[in-house]
Amino acid sequence: MEEIIIKNKVKIARIEKGGLTQGDLAKLVGVTRQTMNLIEAQKYNPTIRVCLLISKHLEKPVDELFWIEE
């Protein structure tokens, strides 16, 4: 089975949101700062729940923040 890699623009959106830190966003979403770091580095595929919460708190559509690398 082929591995699916989810790409994202979370770091860019987080900075555009007014300098929200990884730790701040992590607390809002309910994950650790380390998990948020791995998501931004594209080394961890977040769950749908986490994607939706990140989208909500960054006030961006999910499909603008996350996509599958073909």
Q: For 19-36, write each residue's pLDDT tens digit.
A: 899 999 999 999 999 999
Q: Which domains does the chain have, with CATH numbers?
A: 10-68 (1.10.260.40)
Stated pTM of the model: 0.92
Q: What is the pLDDT of residues 3-12, one digit of tens each?
A: 888 999 999 9
H/E element, 54 = helix 48-58
Task: Judge whether 68 and 7 are in contact, CB under 8 Å.
Answer: yes
Nearest-angstrom CA–CA distance, 55 and 48: 10
